[in-house]
A and B are shown apart, each in its own frame.
Chain A
């Protein structure tokens, strides 16, 4: 492996991680804890649950699953782009 593609790959993966973890922090510690009163007051309820409460008990968990699915596919295409894709996934 030449070192140029290695460092390009590393920069790319840092970018993926940075994007996903900012979303992670925003939905869990942000919406679930810090801004929940604001969200309860100003956002429409989910069913009969206040918005912030629903995020803290349900929405954040659904969000985490989506983040991992996104991580898997973003890293997969990064692997392909820089030639680190291993054809056989067993």
Chain B
């Protein structure tokens, strides 16, 4: 069977599976639509949350990022797992006890104010919208590579499927499809890495392979894998793999911003509203992190293996003898080679090979059969451009694995993008139908009308997301996905935390803290990314902190402002203080209600 037919078979089968599941568990009431009737088992919710969490960006790009930057990429590994410790110990058990449908509900009730509710809705929509655009783009790219259709076609196929099961099925439909999607993802991610680990290190367990020896050239010449990689990196002019090159304070702030941001992301928090009790929330959080860890512990091994493989198979090899995957991905515009010194061999070195850095291909081919480029060659001795996203997708080919494994990886990429997009879509439609229409604009909405308006809202937001997926505001989307964490860290996380842990925190404090935190963070990001991007690396950065990590400072500002303002304004009413005391006790959670 050809690669194409395997791809069709795997993607077709998984899609059919998702749609059958969604149809069988479609939602009938608001309770089912928003929180799956609060009857999901902790184990199933753990899997669903893990699938929700692993976006297309994580699945496709993270290992490539680790391969490219070694130790520096630890900020993502720690940030996106460590945040769950904060989420579990500080936020979700209390919000589950509070027993409402949405995160914004808590802000509105706890701070007895529709202003707080509106600020919350705006933050939620901004965070989720930037995130979902990236997912739609991811779906489009995978489809276009798979079936050689334009990206817009891929985006629309993805949007139609997400609408079918998220828009119609609600939280209940999403939850059970995400369980299936997690299973596809974990196989697709881990299986190829096991094969590659055996190939390079002779170790079946990739995590042991990472700290083991490189034995591909025979047992006698075995060397520690990481030493070999450091040597390769340094020889080619890169920073040593295990050392990294980011400043300590920047590493610290980015890691912290990612962790605190994780604990403030609305689409992750609401997943825990689907289980029965506070006790079930704690159990479910353990499952969630365990399932996430299975992929996150594999990623560093994959990154190291892929980097070693890539350099060994490509560097100083003549183009004529280059492996077939090199040429395949060149045909798909994701690898480019320019023979600067005219020796017919591929030299891979540090630095950008091309100017501008993304390749623009000419129609002719060069002397060795390579595709010629319109770009100018740079001064650097590096002759290779590669898109870091290919490492996960090309990995099975690099390791010479059979065609069905490659198809499985493709199905995994699609599952990752769809599951995250569905979760985000739900938060967006809930924010509009529940928090905005039902709670602020039209409180007399009946339950039937509310579900209908949620479906309409999800249709509308999906159209907007698909539009931006097809026409991304330049590189804006990829960047803002990372910044969504900074925004969540400086707005939702501190405000939720103070709402639970400080009885004295009042409306004025919370609202001003949120506004100052998010305005400062957004302003800093916009200034350095869009107004003066030329300032670039650490010139003019506050304390040398890059925009990626500024959410941490924004969070501290939020705390300072909130506590100062609330100290000089009246304490919250007695019934609010009683409510906070009630939220702190784990017993007697009914099902989530209005």
Identify the A interface with B (CB < 8 A). 1, 3, 6, 9-10, 13, 16-17, 20-21, 24, 28-29, 32-34, 40, 45-50, 53-54, 56-58, 60-62, 64-65, 67-69, 71-72, 75-76, 79, 84, 86, 89-90
Contacts and interface: CB of A to CB of B under 8 A. Distances in A.
B289 A32 contact: no
B429 interface: no
A6 B280 contact: no
Contacts of A67: 85
A71 B87 CA distance: 12
Contacts of B315: none
B82 A28 contact: yes
Interface residues on B, range: 35 or more
Interface string B263-299: 0000000000000110110110110011001001100
Given A6-B581, A60-B82, A33 B211 contact: no
Contacts of B279: 76, 79, 86, 89
* Majority secondary structure, A binding face: helix
27 contacts: A9-B584, A20-B85, A21-B90, A29-B252, A29-B255, A33-B248, A33-B252, A34-B252, A47-B211, A48-B212, A49-B242, A53-B71, A53-B74, A58-B297, A58-B300, A60-B82, A61-B77, A64-B289, A71-B89, A72-B285, A72-B286, A84-B585, A86-B277, A86-B279, A89-B279, A90-B277, A90-B280
Given A16-B89, A64-B82, 7 more contacts: A6-B585, A9-B584, A49-B226, A53-B74, A61-B293, A71-B85, A89-B279
B207 interface: yes
B418 to A, nearest CB: 25
B48 interface: no
A71 B293 contact: no
Contact of A33 (B66, B210, B255): B255
A69 B89 CA distance: 11
B119 to A, nearest CB: 27
Contacts of B285: 68, 71-72
B91 to A, nearest CB: 11
Given A64-B84, A65-B289, A84 B213 contact: no
Given A57-B77, A71-B282, A72-B282, A65 B293 contact: yes
B129 interface: no
B90 A17 contact: yes
Contacts of B297: 58, 61-62
A56 to B, nearest CB: 4
Contact of B85 (A9, A24, A58): A24
Contacts of B150: none
Contacts of A33: 74, 248, 251-252, 255
A24 to B, nearest CB: 5
B289 A72 contact: no
B71 A56 contact: yes
B53 to A, nearest CB: 13
Contacts of B318: none
B242 A50 contact: yes
B295 to A, nearest CB: 10
A58 B587 contact: no
B78 interface: yes
Chain A CB within 10 Å, residue with most, of B39, B242, B296: B242
B89 A20 contact: yes
B82 A49 contact: no
Contact of B78 (A6, A17, A28): A28
A65 B277 contact: no
B522 interface: no
Given A48-B211, A58-B207, A64-B293, A29 B280 contact: no
A24 B93 CA distance: 18
Nearest to B79: A28
Contact of A79 (B88, B89, B90, B586): B586
B89 A47 contact: no
A2 B213 CA distance: 61
B381 interface: no
A58 B226 CA distance: 14
